[in-house]
Chains A and B, each alone.
Chain A
Amino acid sequence: MLAGPALIVMIAVFVYPLGYSFVMSFFQWDLSAGSNDFLGLANYTDAFGSPEFLQSLRNQVIFSTASLMTEVVAGMGIALLINGKMRGLRLARTLLLIPPMIAPAVIGLNFRWLFNEQYGLFDAALRDLHLPVIPWLSDPDWALVSVIIADVWQNTPLLVLLFLAGLQSLPQEPLEAASVDGASAWRTFWSIILPLLRPVVLIALMLRIIDTFRTFDIVWLMTQGGPGGATTLITVEAYLLAFQGVDFGHAAAVSYIALAMSLVLLSALYGVPWLMARRRR
């Protein structure tokens, strides 16, 4: 009874629409016309035959891999180096909290301004140094890189904070023992710190996998998926199909593919170590 009201709202405004769009994904769905034709799996098979969708899939794989890798490696590196008794660490921790909490829409626009080729700061700096100017948002390859840079700027701080919290809760004895044995910092990291931090690293990976497959705002405000579809992620493709192509069935199918992909990745993340542990036993 206590959980009732919450469950009713979640079912009405969350579960029901999702079921609705799951049904939609098997139909030729047109909001204005009364007739909706059953298509079976055609929306899904069509998706994999469309060059736009395949391009968004490629962009998504590059975007997710590159931002995930950069954020985890940079986040861990920074956390390891600034952990300990350092002046200014408290200040840094406060400041690091800011980017992950800012609206991605604002970050997208701000980076669009920084990357502006005429008035933007980055190209102005390159010009001052007499270096070739970079076409940040007008060149297809650079545009994807620019979007990744904005995402990395926003999310690396969150991972630094998570890893710092993890490092601070580590037991001190193994570290001191390693130091007595004269183990190098590199060796200590790989054979002591990283295994102990495994749960935190897994959580960080999980969070970022989920969120890179949900990313929309930053991309929409920086490039709207352009130029020429070069930064269209799967969510952007679904949005474009629904609200510019007015093909809701197709759009619903694409959004379900995005969800399925992050589910598969997550179960791999948790399933593979679990299977390996079982085999060893």
Chain B
Amino acid sequence: MSDQALRRAEVGIAFRARRRRVPLALMARYAVLVGTIIITVFPLVWLLITSVRSSADLFAVPVHIIPTSITAKQYISVFSQYSLSSYLWNTVIVSLTTVVSVTVLALPCAYALARLRLPGGRVVLFLLLIMRMIPVVALAIPLFAVFSSFGMLDTLGALILTHTAAKMPVATWLLMGFIQDLPKEVEESAEVDGAGTLRTLVQIVSPMIAPGIGASAVITFLFTWNDFLIALTLTSSKNAETLPVGLTNFVTQYGIDWGPMAAAGVMMIVPVLIFVWFAQGLLVKGLVTGAVRG
């Protein structure tokens, strides 16, 4: 409050009349801030609470807000009853492989688009933008037909290929922005010293845009980790089903097994929390740059 008052004084307003209004307005603003935080967090806390309740407590009427006891039963049953470990394994493999392949492929592509005058470069840029807009279902329907004719349905390979192609436009767009922000002189002097384009990219440019590569890797990882529709379409068994698709298996003919479902949901959220905590800067950079430029 004192800061506000000071600023007003500096600007030189006759604030005798206003001064009394400030605390009220400030209180209203704090109310909005606190309300926003509560609304944001509450559904997630509820999911967490749900995941540590016993089944009896879960289906008690009237609903207890505070659980009567805490148990890890739901987390155990998710592994013993629902073979969560294979879903988890598939999701981790697909997400990590996709991050590597997207980075390796998108980085040179972004460099070429940002720095070299390619014939048709503008067309490629336009295509990247359109690709970002395409509904996933429009891609999933023909891919089902294509992969089924190659006998590749229900394989991790099909998922990795699809995610690599689908996440490439955003990653390229993001990396391009970071490369364009670099001063050109460094690369030019490297070229003069006889380094080839590829060497310049790997040894000079890449270290300089490390935050950009990090941002694109984090975003690619999370969007692949979170994917539901591609895996729903292309997989049909434990061979390749991922965690989000595994969630639908909690919906049985007897209803939904909410306890294990909540436990699996919490596990889906863990990587998000880790990245938000440790790589918040990269995430914001990726989101805002990605949004602004693409």
Any A CB within 8 A of the CB of B248: yes
Q: B87 at interface (Cβ–Cβ under 8 A)? A: no
Contact of B276 among A97, A179, A248 (CB under 8 A): A97
* Identity of the chain A residue whose Cβ is nearest the Cβ of B50 in the assembled complex: A113
Count residues on chain A whose CB falls below 8 Å from chain B CBs.
96
The interface residues of chain B lying within 8 Å CB-to-CB of A2 are 108-109, 111-112, 116, 197-198, 201
Smallest CB-CB separation from A150: which chain B residue?
Answer: B43
Flag A246-273 by CB within 8 Å of B: 1 or 0 each.
Answer: 0010011001101100110010000000
- B93 / chain A contacts, CB cutoff of 8 Å: none
Hey, what's the 0/1 contact readout for A207-228 against B, CB within 8 Å counting as 1? 1001001101100110000000
With A20-B146, A97-B284, A153-B39 given, is the CB distance from A110 to B265 under 8 Å?
Answer: yes
Given the complex, which residues of B lie within 8 Å of A17, measured CB to CB?
A: 139, 142-143, 146
- Is the beta-carbon distance between B283 and A97 smaller than 8 angstroms? yes
Q: Which of B8, B135, B280 is the one whose CB lies under 8 Å from A235? A: B135
Task: Pick out which of these stretches binds chain B: A40-48, A62-70, A80-88.
Answer: A80-88
In angstroms, Cα B47 to Cα A14, docked, is 36
For A96, give the chain B residue with the smallest CB separation.
B40
Query: Could you mark each residue 118-142 of chain B with 1 if its beta carbon is under 8 Å from any beta carbon of chain A, else 0?
Result: 1000001001000111111111111
Report the stretch among B59-67, B72-80, B207-215 that lies at the interface. Answer: B59-67
Query: Which of chain B's residues has its CB closest to A77's CB?
Result: B32
Complex formed: what's the CA distance from A82 to B3 in Å? 15
* Chain A residues closer than 8 Å to B277, beta-carbon distance: 94
- Write out, one digit per residue, whether chain A residues 1-43 have a CB within 8 A of any chain B CB (1) or not (0): 1110111011011111110110010000101000000000000
A238 on the B face (CB < 8 A): yes
Query: Known contacts being A92-B37, A94-B280, A179-B13, is A214 close to B108, with CB within 8 Å?
Result: no
Instruction: Chain B residues near A78: list those with CB within 8 A.
Output: 32, 36
A113 / chain B contacts, CB cutoff of 8 Å = 46-47, 50, 256, 258, 261-262
Q: Which of A99-107, A138-146, A190-198 contacts B (4 or more CB under 8 A)?
A: A99-107
Question: Which residue in chain B gives the minimum CB-CB distance to A239?
Answer: B137
Q: Mark B156-183, 1 if CB is under 8 A from A, else 0.
A: 0000011011101100100000000000
Give Cα A233–Cα B261 distance, bound, in whole angstroms.
25
Tell me if B228 and A104 are in contact (CB < 8 A).
yes
Q: How far is the CB of B68 from chain A (nearest CB, A)?
A: 15
Given contacts A2-B201, A9-B164, A21-B142, contact A95 B280 (CB under 8 A): no
A230 on the interface (CB 8 Å rule)? no
Contact with A along B177-203 (1 / 0, CB 8 A): 000000000000000000001100100
Inter-chain contact A101/B275, CB cutoff 8 Å: yes
- CB B263 to nearest CB in A, in angstroms, measures 12
Give A112 to B47 CA distance when docked, in angstroms. Answer: 11
Complex Cα–Cα for A158 and B172 (A): 22
Most buried by A among B34, B108, B169, B273: B108
Contact in complex: A207, B46 (CB < 8 Å): no
Report the Cα distance A1→B111, complex, angstroms.
Answer: 11
| Contact, CB under 8 Å: A128 / B288 | no
**A252 with B40: CB separation less than 8 A:** no
Does A187 belong to the interface (CB within 8 Å)? no
Give Cα A231 to B273, complex, Å: 30
B89 proximal to A (CB < 8 A): no
Q: Which residues of A sit under 8 angstroms from B40, Cβ to Cβ?
A: 92, 95-96, 98-99, 157
Q: A10-B169, A262-B133 in contact; A94/B33 too (CB < 8 A)?
A: no
Given A12-B165, A94-B280, A109-B247: A259 and B61 within 8 A (CB)? no
Task: Determine which of A86, A127, A216 lies in contact with B33 in the assembled complex, contact meaning CB atoms within 8 Å.
Answer: A86
Can you list 17 contacts pairing A with B, beta carbon distance less than 8 Å? A2-B198, A5-B109, A10-B168, A12-B165, A14-B131, A17-B142, A21-B138, A21-B141, A24-B141, A89-B33, A97-B284, A103-B269, A113-B262, A118-B61, A221-B228, A235-B135, A239-B141
Instruction: Taking A88-B34, A158-B287 as given, write out 8 further A-B residue pairs in contact, using a Cβ cutoff of 8 Å, ordered by the A residue number.
Output: A13-B164, A14-B131, A15-B127, A109-B265, A110-B262, A111-B43, A180-B12, A217-B229
